[in-house]
Structure 1
Amino acid sequence: MIPGWHDLLTKISRLETGDWQAMGWLKRWFVATRAAVFVMTLFSALIGIILAIPNAQFDGLNAVLVCLGLVLAHATNNLVNDWTDFKKGVDKDNYFRTQYGPQPLESGLLSERQLFGYIALTGGLAMMVGAVLIARTELQTLYWMLAGAFFVLFYTWPLKYVGLGEPAVWIVWGPLMVLASSLVVSGEYSTTAIWVSCLYGIGPTTVVFGKHIDKLTEDTAKGVRTLPVQLGERLSRASVLGLWLIQYVGVTVGVILGALHWAYLIIWLALPKFFDAWRRYRQPRPEVCPDDWPEQAWPLYLVHVAFLYNKGFSGLMFLGVVLSVVLPVVF
């Protein structure tokens, strides 16, 4: 069945070849780039943008451009990721990636030439947006853009293959995206933005941790030495729990020290979701789909738990960011 726009933006859709052929080119692009995960990028960009509002200068057009540019960069990374894994044979033989959604090349939905067309178009648009932002700001924007390009090109290989994929995700979705967004819309970033960026980046990092724990066995067999492969499942699950705790402690300490507005304490409303995620991460990953788990989501398990929890926590942190800017003005 051809997925609707809501499905394309909220989950990784499973497709038959006929469904793919019946879709328009825009929906195909959303499927191929795995658009459901763009929400993490938008949160990063919007957090940086909103934190820049109190600064002396604020450029609304740059705010729109940086959101667009970062989403296009994320999409390019996902396409490059699929091509790299395909060329290295990682996604062959019903590998984890092909079980939960279509890998464009492995599933036969796109040829290499067609995928390169997607990469060229998406990456080209990202660079065009970046060039406009450089022209509208300062040369410093170029340096941030080059740092982002490094991770787009080299995340899948070699970073992910040597256990540096998870730290790279923290850098990109935390300090890099948040601070760069603040910088291009106002010409500066605050101490608060630095604090928040370091804590927010933990969320996407735990999502990637969850994905790599889910496919730990497959990655080990394929020689993909992600951090969970090197740490083992038990220590990796404990690491995710520790990272989530750091977010709560970091926000609370920030409020106590005066680095963050008290409105950030709203993140504690995520505790019910946290306890559910904690319960699942305390147990070894099941080898078969649990009875209380949606069958259509399997084999996504720990990554799905982390994604849903992070979505709720990040939404509350985003609300805290908004309130921290609005409340001082209103009151």
Structure 2
Amino acid sequence: MSTGTGAGVVDLDDLGRWVRAEGIAEEIGEVTPLAGGTQNVVLKIELDGRPVVLRRPPEHPRPTSDRTLTREITVLRGLAGTDVPHPRLIAGCTDTSVLGVVFYLMELVDGVNPGEEVTEAQRADPALRRGQALAVARALARLSAVDPVAQGLDVLRKPGGFLAKQVPQWLGQLESYREFAGWDPAGLPDVEPIARWLTAHLPPEPEPGVMHGDFHLNNILLAREEPAVAAVVDWEMCTVGDPLLDLGWLMVTWPQPPRTLEVGGPFAQLGGLPTRAELVAEYAAAGGRPTRDVDWYTALAGFKLGIVLEGTHARAGAGKAPKEIGDRLHRHAGALLTLARSIADGEWSVHP
């Protein structure tokens, strides 16, 4: 028996045999698609009456899908026992003969995604929203303190210096878009001057640390009525590198002027959130890494994310992605690079 999810299919008979063989549960009950997980299938499944979450690649997996899910399993397993808020891994399966893809089961976290909804308590209490936003910075500080070797996560580390590779890597990524007919690199502003500034002001290589890779409000589950983070989710970009790039990522995506992305949804629209400078101060006070170069990391985050988003615009111009999405992401890419350029020119800073 299979269940159609709208985003994919899971054979419940095969899944049932696996959970019984693994000693996880005896019976599978109701199956419900969950919101979020735009790149993967995310289902709530009752196992012996207990709700858990199954995450697997999309119905038509990409070539990298199984590798990505295997990475997530490694990360969630490695975060066990740390004080980083995350969904607890129940079990992972890298044997593709079971469901045809890699998948895993994790706990169902009672939390709210600020990009999708707000609770009545959040709506009514600006102090709660502010406290929750500061808790996001504290959660990031906890992640930056994780020892990748001790937690078995150093397997995610790539050879060579992390920071020194960033500018050449992303310039190369941008150059690769020339394969798409009609894409004009001149349409993306400020790339070369930002690259020169980043290279000229490169900080020393850091002690390697665990980084989420896409740390922003929409990848957070907030507690419903407490000033706390229930879980950081969507670990598919996690790596071992420089955790301060996560802080820069939070800065460029933070839903306050200058705003570059549509992040934070109804939570951000209610207002009352701390400034970027207050987030940085909270991160530092919670034991995060030294933040003296936070402007540099913010510029790097804008540079990198802008180039990543421009890829969809390039593909859209060649008919390989929807034009309206490509146009929207191109505007976001331009805003990110404009922000990075303003840092490079000394016209804007995270600090007040």
TM-score w.r.t. structure 2 length?
A: 0.30
Larger radius of gyration: 2
Larger proportion of helix: 1
Q: In proportion to residue count, which structure has more strand?
A: 2
